[in-house]
Amino acid sequence: MISEGCSVYGTVRHSVISGGAVIGKDAVVCDSVIMDDVVIEPGAKVYYAIVDSESVIRSGVTVGRSDAGKDHITVIAKGSDVTKNVEEK
């Protein structure tokens, strides 16, 4: 589900994208919840994650694992600037 006011230039599958979010070119978001005003920069990948409001996932970073499944969700706190790969917290 993609809310009004989002900009999606990458791939989104089985995810909820909230208002004001930006999904960059060649970014991938799968099985995740992206809250308001999150920026997922070009080439970033987000799998099985909840990314709280006003966070930035930097280019080339991977959040979560594509094989994690619903029992291993990665959570990114509000206002985070994610510059390195991160898995389940």
What pLDDT, on the 0 to 100 scale, is given for residue 11?
97
CA distance 73 to 63: 10
What is the domain-level CATH number for residue 12? 2.160.10.10
Whether 89 maps to a domain, the answer reads no
Give all strands of the β-sheet with 33-34 in edge-to-edge order.
Answer: 16-17, 33-34, 49-51, 74-76
What pLDDT band is residue 89 in, cutting at 50, 70 and 90? low
Label residue 38 by pLDDT band (50, 70, 90).
very high
Residue 20 has pLDDT above 90, yes or no: yes
Q: How many structural domains compose the chain? A: 1
Give the range of the structural domain holding residue 26, as residue numbers without chain letter: 7-82
Assigned domain for 88 exists:
no
pLDDT digit string, tens, across residues 48-87: 999 999 999 999 999 999 998 888 999 999 999 999 999 8
- Residue 88 scores a pLDDT above 90: no
